[in-house]
Structure 1
Amino acid sequence: MANVMIQYTEQGRLSLYLAKKDLEEHITRVEFESDDKWGGEIELANGAAYYVDPGVKPSFPISVRARRLRAAV
């Protein structure tokens, strides 16, 4: 599992930053996006996917533990 930061960009889109690889990518899909349940599988613009344990929608920016499900294409 990796520590990642999820934040809004200046354009108002969510992005995921992985410091270990100095990688920042736009988030294209979040499995659960309601206020009561946010997280699950998160897909990035580069084709990679990560999993964040679902919970109440957080305030961004936030650092969370994420498990890589799929590498970038």
Structure 2
Amino acid sequence: MKAKIEVTYLPNVEDPEALSIERNLSMLGYNGIKGLSIKKIYEFTLDDDSYNVLDEIAGRILTNPVIQSYKIIRD
């Protein structure tokens, strides 16, 4: 079975990488681009009985729960 964990910043938390890209785009003449966000996606291939550990992996290892949220997607 395949699954993904999608990690994003919480609302009202600045994404430093996205802000840097926005500044660089503006310096290159690409004006009017606002609200860029970046998502990290981790892809897993799992045994059928391993799916239940993804929530623990996401919460303990892949995210900082103070500033990020995650979503588990089954493929």
Higher helix share: 2
> Taking CA–CA contacts closer than 8 Å with sequence separation of 6 or more, which of the two structures ends up with the larger relative contact order?
2
The bucket for the TM-score relative to the shorter chain is under 0.3
TM-score by length of 2: 0.24
TM-score (norm 1): 0.25
Specify which structure has the higher proportion of strand.
1
